[in-house]
Amino acid sequence: MMRFLRPCRVLTYVAFASFALLKSVQAAPIDQKKFESARTWEELRAGQGWPELNAALKLPVAKRLEIATIALVNPRREARNLDFGFALALSMAKQNRDAVRLVARGILSNEYTFGKDRIARVLRLLANEGIRGSSSCVVAWARLHDLGLDMPQDATRAYEWYRWGALVGNQRGIEETAFALAKGKGTDKNVDVALEWLNKLPPQRRAKQYAELGDYLAATGMPDDFAKSEVVYLDAMQTDPLIAIGVAAKLNDGRYSESARKAAMAVIASGDANGSPLAQRIIAKGLWESTSEADISKAILLFLKAAKTGDQDAVNYLALAMSRSGVSTGTHIEIFPVLEKQARLGNTNAIRAVGEAYFSGRGTSLSLQKAAEFRRLAADRGDVEAQYLLGLMYIQANGVDKDIPEATKWLTKSAEAGNLIARSALMSLTTK
């Protein structure tokens, strides 16, 4: 009898402990500090004391909804877990309309494959809730058909349901309807009607969509589309100050009208006056294209300012400046320490430029040993020219001990990557 009671006592204790754990999870609020510091889903789950999926499925509905929401639509995508979130949401969907709407939000925020065994149920849930008035479920149903991840892609049905969502005011439905019309996807192409739909959006959201539509229209290669891209870019630039400078950079293109370019330059100049790094970078790139040494010097000063904040695009221009004609020795000296710092942080163009600077003594003291060090760094990163130059250094004993096998290794790498000069050097080396 005692042998029977002891296991029962153990099982009772385990059940009580599990129940206590679930009660504590149910009651525990979100720890905001741990939430914000978590870099992955597992860190987030552990930090909040949430159980693994099988146990989480037994939590009360409110807690499951809370956890599923974070798993599916966390602003930091790297800390999402779609399998976990959709499993929790679908476990409640039959009895809970909020869970179905959460499934819709998850679909609209991610690309996810439910699998053929679940997709029919998901579509049925979304359709039923859509008929009951949830426009997000309507648009999610359309998106599944648009992507065609678990079923044949059906652009026509997707467009019909996107338009249904749009007609009842769903902003995502409006955007998707507009882009389907602009692309002729699932319906006849009609950019004018697409713009009519986008005009129903709030100003800032419309400006963002106009900018994206401008990118699409500018890239189709069709003259009518390109002409309309100017119109939508101008509208976006004038509507939302947060994206104005970026859009102005696209309009600062010789293919657009003079009036559009003037408007764009006015926005860029205003941003420069206000210290906008983006505006200054755009101006610097324009000055860089000049043949005037004064303009080039101004460009380099702007690139130096941006590079000191870690702007990698500016660093790449400074690397080019080290070998550009007309750049003064004083400017080389000013550029060099910025490039050396970025080289040690891993910028490949900076590594190459610093190696060349040490080899030629441009902007710094000549040092063949340091030239070899930086050329090796660039060569290790797959820089074909650096591999060739490093191979020559081993042949000529410049900054390194003469080492023909090492020279052969680097010349071979460069030659195999298509460097014809390296191939020639390798042939000369092997015929000696």
Residue-wise pLDDT for 370-426, tens only, equals: 999 999 999 999 999 999 999 999 999 989 999 999 999 999 999 999 989 989 888
DSSP 94: T
pLDDT at 4: 44
Residue 323 has pLDDT above 60, yes or no: yes
pLDDT digits (tens, 9 = 90+) for 107-162: 999 999 999 999 999 999 999 999 999 999 999 999 999 999 899 999 999 999 99
Q: Which residue has the higher pLDDT, 235 or 35?
A: 235
Whose tokens are 């998850």? That residue is 106
pLDDT at 425: 87
pLDDT digits (tens, 9 = 90+) for 348-385: 999 999 999 999 999 999 999 999 999 999 999 999 99
pLDDT at 15: 40
Determine the Cα–Cα distance for residues 181 and 195; give it in Å rounded to an integer.
9
pLDDT at 363: 94
pLDDT at 432: 59
Share of the chain above pLDDT 90, in %: 72
Residue burial 341-362, b: 16+ Cβ < 10 Å; e: rest: bbbeeebbbbbbbbbbbbbeeb
53 Cβ neighbours under 8 A, 6+ residues apart: 83, 84, 87, 88
Query: Residues 168-174: contacts with CB within 8 Å, 24+ apart?
Result: 168/135, 168/138, 169/135, 170/135, 170/136, 170/138, 170/139, 171/201, 171/202, 171/205, 172/108, 172/136, 172/139, 173/135, 173/138, 173/139, 173/142, 174/198, 174/200, 174/201
- What average pLDDT does the segment 241-255 reach? 90
Chain centroid, CA 315 distance in Å: 20
Residue 22 has pLDDT above 80, yes or no: no
pLDDT at 10: 41
Alpha helices in 289-328 (DSSP H): 293-307, 312-321
Determine the Cα–Cα distance for residues 81 and 56; give it in Å rounded to an integer.
13
pLDDT at 164: 97
Least confident of 56-70, 212-226, 258-272, 365-379: 258-272
Determine the Cα–Cα distance for residues 291 and 326; give it in Å rounded to an integer.
9
Determine the Cα–Cα distance for residues 396 and 375; give it in Å rounded to an integer.
15
Q: For 197-245, what is the HEC assignment?
A: HHCCCCHHHHHHHHHHHHHHHHHCCCHHHHHHHHHHHHHHHHHCHHHHH
SS3 label, residue 402: coil
- Residue 31 — pLDDT band, cuts 50, 70, 90? confident
pLDDT at 28: 64
Nearest-10 Cα torsion for 78, 80, 82, 87: 160
61 Cβ neighbours under 8 A, 6+ residues apart: 92, 96, 99
Determine the Cα–Cα distance for residues 289 and 297; give it in Å rounded to an integer.
11
Residue 172 has pLDDT above 50, yes or no: yes
What six digits make up the tokens of 344? 């040690």
Q: Which residue has the higher pLDDT, 51 or 288?
A: 51
- What average pLDDT does the segment 329-339 reach? 95
Determine contact, residues 182/194, Cβ cutoff 8 Å: yes
Q: Which residue has the higher pLDDT, 311 or 432?
A: 311
Backbone angles phi and psi of 50, in degrees to 5: -80, 145
pLDDT at 26: 52
Least confident of 14-28, 88-102, 166-180, 355-369: 14-28
pLDDT at 370: 94
What six digits make up the tokens of 252? 């600062």
As a whole number, the mean pLDDT across the chain is: 90
Q: Say what the pTM is.
A: 0.68
pLDDT at 2: 44
Helix orientation angle between 404-416 and 384-396, rounded to the nearest 10 degrees: 160
Determine contact, residues 400/394, Cβ cutoff 8 Å: yes
- What average pLDDT does the segment 322-333 reach? 91
- Residue 290 — pLDDT band, cuts 50, 70, 90? confident
- Residue 247 — pLDDT band, cuts 50, 70, 90? very high
- What average pLDDT does the segment 5-30 reach? 47
Determine contact, residues 354/365, Cβ cutoff 8 Å: no
pLDDT digits (tens, 9 = 90+) for 190-224: 999 999 999 999 999 999 999 999 999 999 999 99
Chain centroid, CA 23 distance in Å: 40
Determine the Cα–Cα distance for residues 309 and 61; give it in Å rounded to an integer.
48
Residue 21 has pLDDT above 80, yes or no: no
